[in-house]
Amino acid sequence: MSTPAIAVDAMGGDNAPGAIVEGACAAARDFGVPVLLVGPQETVAAELQRFGCASSGVAIVHAPDVVAMDEHATAALRHRTETSIAVGVRLVKEGRAAAFLTAGNTGAAMAVATLTLGRQPGIERPALGTVFPSSRGRFLLLDVGANADARPVYLEQFALLGREYARRALGIGDPRVALLNIGEEPGKGSELAREAYERIARLPDVQFVGNIEGKDLTRGLADVVVTDGFTGNVAIKTAEGVAEFILRELRGTLTAKLRYKLAALVLRPALMGLRSRIDYAEYGAAPLLGLNGTVLIAHGRSDARAIRAAVRVAGEVVAAGGAGAPAVQPASRGAGKGEAS
């Protein structure tokens, strides 16, 4: 295949395998991205037949084992080398796929990817980053779930990872980096936030604009926003819930009366544009940054439309040079409060 293939975990996610196969087929057809569907041969083949997807752009890679969504991450590492996650990551390691995409168990994907691919030099923990819309375009938020318990040095490294990804994948020459906090002043927040602030502020060649509050995330004040995985995950899921609430209420209001329905017909192009900007499914997947290879995590409840977008995003990340960050060596790398020596 002249175009690099994207390996897709056919068994990962709440709606697998049906929605995964359907979305991957749509992506292969619409974007010309070769897809390797990873999962039990017979199961995946049956889904391909069900959706009438016999495209030359889709192939199956057999993986007889599956990591359940509710399994602990370590369970995926104990002598289980033939899970769809393990096989998919191995395809990247072996160069048979340019990226691996899963909507499955995030903890397992991170553990397997880290063990199989290894971390970039200078990176202690990979970070999951997601692109979010703002009034001035979009920004990268990381970490959004890979590291619920973080140390200040991790957030320092996330700043470097985010800056490099924003440069390469988002095309921002000198990204503005901010720290998510409960106040704008440097002394605000937890001990983690205060020390992370000091560390990021000392990084050379990083345009650090200081703290940013949750209410200001979508105002376009920064291109990269750094936080721990627990806070970041709560932030994005709250935003998703609010966006869904607004869309649902707007839909209900516009269909309540005839005159509203007529107005909705006139406004439909604008409303559809708004939906595409705030719908998580349009943003597809989040790259796991800091690995020696490209791995992306899609939302666990992704439907076929979200998987289609996720494969598109994976192709864009590969075209931009992959999600692996270049080697970084933070200037303030030495042991300090909140990190191991």
CATH superfamily of 6-123+290-319: Isopropylmalate Dehydrogenase (3.40.718.10)
Selection from 94, 117, 83 nearest residue 9 by Cα: 83
CATH code of domain 128-280: 3.40.718.10
Per-residue pLDDT at 267: 63
pTM, full prediction: 0.83
Selection from 79, 81, 80, 35 nearest residue 61 by Cα: 35
Look at residue 180 and give its three-state secondary structure: strand
Per-residue pLDDT at 2: 58
Look at residue 178 and give its three-state secondary structure: strand
- Ramachandran assignment for 92, one of left (phi > 0), alpha (psi -120 to 50 degrees), beta (any other): alpha
Q: What are the pLDDT digits (tens) for 145-190?
A: 888 899 999 999 999 999 999 998 888 999 999 999 999 888 888 9
Per-residue pLDDT at 48: 92
For residues 303 and 23, is the Cβ–Cβ distance under 8 A?
Answer: yes
Per-residue pLDDT at 332: 43
Per-residue pLDDT at 146: 87
Q: Which residues of the chain have pLDDT under 50?
A: 1, 325, 327, 330-341
Per-residue pLDDT at 272: 62
Selection from 77, 147, 191, 150 nearest residue 288 by Cα: 147
Per-residue pLDDT at 292: 94
What are the residue ranges of CATH 3.40.718.10 in the chain?
A: 6-123+290-319, 128-280
Tell me the CA distances in angstroms from 280 to 24, 310, 330, one per residue in order.
17, 10, 33
